[in-house]
Amino acid sequence: MRFIRRISDQWRSGYRSRILVLAIVVLLLVIFLYPFQSTTLPEWNLRVVDDAGAPVHEINVTEHWQDYLLETEGHEEVRTTDQDGRVSFGQRGLRASLTGRLLARVSKFGKHQPEGRAIRYGAVVVWGNRSYETTVGVNQGEVPPAEVHVRRVR
């Protein structure tokens, strides 16, 4: 009987350790394979104004954004300003796993990157009205610019 009890105890302790190892492996797989959300560009509310500070209404504004590390192509969306010269774009982001992010970094290692090039890019282009010059506004930080000034064509 003792012999059988000893074998049973050894089997249980081995079984517990196998379950613990399996639980750790599953947890690590979830952590490394789950596609976490990251923000490429925060919500952007801006106002388009002319040289005199007057709102420019009904002019096209195209938002461009891309995460250069994780995406090979950029995105864009066109909107038109309202009567107060305002236009809004929602938060832009993407989902990628830690493994995908790590592999993207490794694949880009050693490739030529221009100095100062951000990993995430966001810009707006104001265009489509013959009375105003086409103008670009670039998001160079965490908070995008609140106003874009366009010059009137003389």
The whole-chain average pLDDT of the chain stands at 87
Whole-number pLDDT of residue 123: 95
Q: pLDDT tens, position by position, for the chain (154 residues)?
A: 676 666 566 666 677 777 888 899 999 999 999 999 999 999 999 999 999 999 999 999 999 999 988 998 999 999 999 999 999 999 999 999 999 998 888 887 766 555 545 688 899 999 999 999 999 999 877 788 899 999 998 7
Whole-number pLDDT of residue 119: 83
Whole-number pLDDT of residue 17: 78
Q: How far is CA 53 from the centre of its chain?
A: 32
- State how far the alpha carbon of 73 is from the alpha carbons of 31, 45, 66, 102, 148, in Å: 27, 24, 7, 19, 25
Whole-number pLDDT of residue 141: 74
Whole-number pLDDT of residue 57: 95
Whole-number pLDDT of residue 107: 82
